[in-house]
């Protein structure tokens, strides 16, 4: 019996009791209104409910008396071994071993699908993260946003959302011309422009541009700049894409800012031009001093925003507006932006933009701000000179250690990682601890096969050891953990769950044998425990996958 089934049973029992006490008092009550919690002390049972405390006032009943009435009715439900009332009206429920143990087979048969849920079904989401300028390598900040953004995407997809991972390429504006001029100077052996980009990676791009176009120096100066800029942009973007793929982060859409400013092939206004007209039609655009403004203060912004200057030049806000509207045009009702710590000012701006576009700023847009991350002893990139590169970190610490560690903490908390711990093959290293538990489940399964223990028999009523009860209780929590982590956009909840599960598995391993001792015969309990072992391995594997971390079978 899983938590959903138990909540449904609780609802079925409580509804007639509530109606008998006060007519209509249970109207509209659903299983979702009756949350279950796992008691911290397992001696109190498998599940606890405060339903009687919540509904006592509504029904005009004494909470403890109502709890006792519910407890009496629950004891008749199949799969429930006992129910006790504690304190002022808490209901502690203990499942019988067969009902609790049946979960092991359910998990094994569900495989990779176990943990998936429908809590986000119907939500169409555009998730934008990383979105670095294509003028240099990805750095340590991008590394954190990549790990968090991809894990959030995996959680939302596992919870039934329709979602696209999107990278916004900031490939328009003055920084691209400075980038192109810097690469051109490197290619031609000229000094770096005063406001240009420096570093060995610029020299590398210059050599690549020259190799692609040996005639570069012979071209007119304006053509040289455009060619160097566009070739270097293509090369650098390719490096960014390769870095992310190596970090196990895949984007469905790479959206170019240039698309917002370009006139369509059929002619007519650009997306930025259209954005001004569309916002004006919503009634939130006004003209003042020759410029065009959006009255974002109507939606909580600290000041109104200029969208087009008096000289006719669009602001960055214009591109933000066109991009936001374009996301809606592509069918995304909900937009999530994961931005760096230096983008706090964008929160009110983007929410105000959603309101000016006719959307609900509280429902249709989320802006998540990630805080800074540092790694003790990390060296600045030899190529870029002033940053710590993603590629260097990945080669130093490994994708798994980085992704797990970055996903293990809330996005809004500053973070310093200790590379000495991340490289340890001991229980002090959280990712090793969880991966080792998964590898151990496979080792147990291999040894079981060699000893003639298979899954030909399943007798869940035999899973009665206290460590089996605790392990099964944790396994039951996985789907709810996934759904809640998706709802609050917090992958660290899955990481912490996996660490708890790994600890419970190790304690079970120390107490319950899958393989009989010596010449003892293989019995039903051994075969049933193999189901539990394999179920735990499956959940560990599913959870690690949600964090973009591998689940090795041997360590």
For residue range 394-439, list pLDDT tens digits in order: 999 999 999 999 999 999 889 999 999 999 999 999 999 999 999 9
Give me the pLDDT at residue 275, please. Answer: 95
Report percent pLDDT > 90 for the chain.
79
- Between CA 517 and CA 513 the distance in angstroms is 8
pLDDT tens sequence across 73-125: 999 998 899 999 999 999 999 888 888 899 999 999 999 999 999 999 999 99
Q: Determine the 3-state secondary structure of 445 from DSSP.
A: helix
- Predicted confidence band at 343 (pLDDT cuts at 50, 70, 90)? confident
- Between CA 506 and CA 117 the distance in angstroms is 27
Give me the pLDDT at residue 146, please. Answer: 97
- Between CA 227 and CA 180 the distance in angstroms is 8
pLDDT tens sequence across 58-73: 777 888 999 999 999 9
Rounded mean pLDDT, 318-336? 97
Give me the pLDDT at residue 316, please. Answer: 92
Nearest to 419 by CA among 367, 447, 377: 377
Q: Does residue 254 have a pLDDT over 80?
A: yes
- Predicted confidence band at 185 (pLDDT cuts at 50, 70, 90)? very high
Give me the pLDDT at residue 1, please. Answer: 72
Rounded mean pLDDT, 352-362? 94
Query: Which carries the bigger pLDDT value, residue 32 or residue 398?
Result: 398
- Yes or no: say if 102 and 460 are a contact pair by the CB < 8 Å rule: yes
- Predicted confidence band at 22 (pLDDT cuts at 50, 70, 90)? low
Q: Does residue 23 have a pLDDT over 60?
A: no
- Yes or no: say if 426 and 529 are a contact pair by the CB < 8 Å rule: no
Give me the pLDDT at residue 26, please. Answer: 56
Range with the lowest mean pLDDT among 160-164, 233-237, 238-242, 297-301? 297-301
| Topology (CATH) of 101-117+424-546 | Isoleucyl-tRNA Synthetase; Domain 1 (1.10.730)
- Predicted confidence band at 249 (pLDDT cuts at 50, 70, 90)? very high
Give me the pLDDT at residue 381, please. Answer: 79
- Predicted confidence band at 192 (pLDDT cuts at 50, 70, 90)? very high
Kindly give, in sequence order, each residue whose CB lies less than 8 Å from that of residue 275, ignoring residues fewer than 6 positions away: 307, 318, 321, 322, 325
Nearest to 56 by CA among 17, 107, 30, 95: 17
Which sequence spans correspond to the domains of the chain? 3-95, 101-117+424-546, 124-171+250-373, 174-246
Give me the pLDDT at residue 14, please. Answer: 83
- Predicted confidence band at 33 (pLDDT cuts at 50, 70, 90)? confident
Q: Does residue 265 have a pLDDT over 90?
A: no
For the question of whether the overall pTM of this predicted structure is more than 0.85, the answer is yes
Range with the lowest mean pLDDT among 8-22, 215-229, 262-276? 8-22
Q: Does residue 478 have a pLDDT over 60?
A: yes
Tell me if the domain spanning 3-95 has CATH number 3.40.50.10440.
no
Give me the pLDDT at residue 17, please. Answer: 82
Q: Does residue 292 have a pLDDT over 70?
A: yes
- Predicted confidence band at 28 (pLDDT cuts at 50, 70, 90)? low
Q: What is the CATH number of domain 124-171+250-373?
A: 3.40.50.620
Mean pLDDT computed over every residue of the chain: 93
Rounded mean pLDDT, 506-521? 95
In the chain, how long is the greatest CA-to-CA distance?
A: 93
- Predicted confidence band at 27 (pLDDT cuts at 50, 70, 90)? low
Rounded mean pLDDT, 539-546? 98
């Amino acid at each position: 019996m899983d938590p959903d089934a138990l909540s449904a049973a609780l609802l079925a029992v409580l509804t007639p009791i509530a109606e008998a006490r006060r007519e209509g008092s249970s109207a509209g009550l659903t299983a979702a209104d009756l949350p279950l919690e796992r008691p911290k002390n397992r001696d109190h049972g498998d599940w606890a409910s405060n339903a009687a405390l919540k509904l006592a006032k509504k029904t005009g009943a004494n909470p403890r008396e109502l709890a006792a009435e519910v407890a009496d009715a629950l004891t008749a439900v199949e799969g429930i071994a006992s129910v006790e009332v504690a304190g002022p009206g808490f209901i502690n429920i203990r499942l019988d071993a067969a009902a609790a143990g049946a979960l092991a087979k359910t998990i094994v048969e569900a495989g990779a699908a176990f943990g998936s849920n429908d809590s986000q079904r119907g939500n169409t989401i555009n998730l934008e993260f990383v979105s670095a300028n294509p003028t240099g390598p990805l750095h340590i900040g991008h590394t954190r946003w990549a790990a968090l953004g991809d894990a959030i995407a995996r959680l939302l997809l596992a919870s039934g959302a329709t979602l696209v991972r999107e990278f916004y390429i900031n490939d328009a504006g003055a920084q691209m011309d400075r980038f192109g001029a810097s690469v051109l100077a490197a290619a031609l052996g000229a000094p770096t422009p005063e406001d240009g980009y420096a570093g060995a990676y610029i020299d590398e791009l210059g050599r690549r541009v020259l190799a692609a176009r040996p005639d570069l120096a012979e071209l007119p100066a304006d053509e040289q700049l455009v060619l160097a800029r566009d070739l270097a942009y293509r090369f650098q973007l390719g490096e960014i894409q390769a870095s992310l793929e190596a970090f196990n982060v895949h984007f469905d859409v790479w959206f170019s800012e240039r698309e917002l400013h370009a006139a369509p092939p059929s002619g007519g206004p650009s997306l930025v031009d259209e954005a001004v007209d569309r916002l004006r039609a919503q009634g939130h655009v006004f003209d003042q001093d020759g410029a065009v403004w959006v009255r974002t203060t109507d939606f909580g912004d600290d000041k109104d925003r200029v969208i087009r200057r008096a000289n006719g030049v669009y602001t960055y806000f214009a591109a933000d507006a066109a991009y936001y509207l374009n996301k809606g045009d592509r069918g995304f009702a909900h937009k999530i932006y994961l931005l760096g710590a230096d983008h706090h000012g964008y929160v009110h701006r983007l929410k105000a933009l959603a309101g000016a576009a006719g959307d609900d700023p509280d429902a249709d847009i989320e802006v998540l701000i990630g805080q800074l991350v540092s790694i003790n002893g990390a060296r600045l990139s030899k190529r870029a000179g002033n940053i710590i590169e993603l590629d260097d970190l990945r080669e130093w610490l490994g994708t798994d250690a980085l992704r797990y560690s970055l996903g293990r903490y809330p996005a809004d908390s500053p973070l310093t990682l200790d590379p000495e711990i991340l490289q340890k093959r001991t229980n002090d290293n959280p990712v090793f601890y969880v991966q080792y538990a998964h590898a151990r489940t496979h080792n147990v399964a291999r040894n079981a096969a060699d000893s003639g223990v298979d899954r030909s028999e399943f007798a869940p009523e035999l899973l009665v050891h206290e460590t089996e009860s605790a392990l099964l209780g944790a396994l039951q929590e996985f789907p709810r953990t996934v759904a809640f982590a998706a709802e609050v956009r917090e992958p660290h909840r899955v990481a912490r769950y996996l660490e708890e599960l790994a600890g419970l598995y190790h304690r079970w391993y120390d107490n319950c044998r899958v393989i009989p001792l010596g010449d003892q015969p293989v019995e039903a309990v051994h075969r049933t425990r193999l189901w539990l072992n394999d179920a735990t391995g499956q959940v560990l594997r599913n959870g690690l996958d949600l964090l973009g971390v591998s689940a090795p079978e041997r360590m």
